[in-house]
């Protein structure tokens, strides 16, 4: 099964104060770290939905969200629409989760099933990214509105979802303080637990 990555990274970074996608963690930007994790998990192609003017790392397919203020739902739909026809599924990831464990991605991919079109990470009973969608479930994103992604949709349709317990969800980086705390706790490499 060929699985693409769709990384949602078009947010305006209002709470961060600058383009958090370009914030450095060690020698790499936050977006570089997330794309490296996707690549290390074997996801191909790696697609990043970004705002106008933001460059993506080499080898990453850029998708421009020219209206990022429309929220995460727009980025989700744009990213899924860009998945090439030869891909059977896509894993939706967030560009502000550079501490996502490679093992989490691998576990999500390993649980893809014919009878359920979605696989979602869960921790403490709470569904969150990453989420794998088989191609026949891409239309689920049409129901997303504003700054909401797939969580509410999947909660309403549990019969479509295989959940994978991951212990804890990767932390979002929303503020400079979040980044500082994350840098203190992270190793340099992309493939960590």
pLDDT in tens, 45-91: 999 999 999 999 999 999 999 988 888 899 999 999 999 999 999 99
Using CA of residue 176, residue 181, residue 184, residue 186, what is the dihedral sign? negative
Residue range 144-190, pLDDT digits in tens: 988 888 988 999 999 999 999 998 888 876 666 767 777 777 665 44
In the chain, where are the structural domains located?
3-185
Could you tell me if 92 and 160 are in contact, meaning their C-beta atoms sit under 8 angstroms apart?
no
Q: Options 3.30.70.20, 3.90.550.10, 3.40.50.460, 3.40.50.10300; which CATH number does 3-185 get?
A: 3.90.550.10
Helices 30-40 and 102-110, axial angle in degrees (round to 10): 40
Enter the DSSP assignment of 174.
-
* pLDDT of 187: 61
In the chain, pLDDT over 70 holds for what percent of residues? 90
Global pTM reads 0.89
Q: Give the pLDDT band (50/70/90) at residue 21.
A: confident
Helices (H), the chain: 30-40, 72-81, 102-110, 151-156, 176-185
Q: State the Cα–Cα distance between residues 187 and 85, nearest whole angstrom.
A: 36
Longest dimension (CA), the chain: 44
How far, in Å, are 11, 97, 158, 161 from residue 119 at the CA level? Answer: 24, 18, 10, 5
């Amino acid at each position: 099964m060929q699985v693409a990555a769709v990384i949602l990274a078009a947010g305006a970074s209002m709470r961060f104060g600058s383009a958090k996608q370009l914030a450095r963690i060690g020698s790499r930007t936050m977006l570089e770290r997330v794309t490296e994790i996707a690549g290390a998990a074997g996801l191909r192609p790696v697609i990043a939905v970004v705002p106008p003017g933001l460059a993506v790392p080499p080898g990453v397919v850029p998708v421009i969200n020219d209206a990022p203020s429309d929220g995460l739902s727009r980025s989700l739909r744009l990213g899924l629409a860009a998945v090439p026809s030869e891909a059977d599924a896509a894993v939706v990831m967030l560009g502000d989760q550079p501490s996502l464990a490679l093992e989490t991605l691998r576990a999500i991919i390993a649980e893809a099933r014919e009878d359920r079109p979605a696989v979602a990470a869960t921790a403490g009973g709470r569904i969150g990214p990453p989420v794998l969608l088989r191609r026949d479930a891409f239309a689920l994103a049409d129901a997303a509105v504003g700054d909401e992604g797939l969580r509410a949709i999947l909660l309403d349709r549990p019969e479509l979802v295989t959940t994978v317990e991951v212990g804890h969800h990767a932390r979002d980086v929303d503020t400079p303080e979040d980044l500082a705390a994350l840098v203190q706790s992270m190793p340099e490499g992309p493939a960590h637990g």
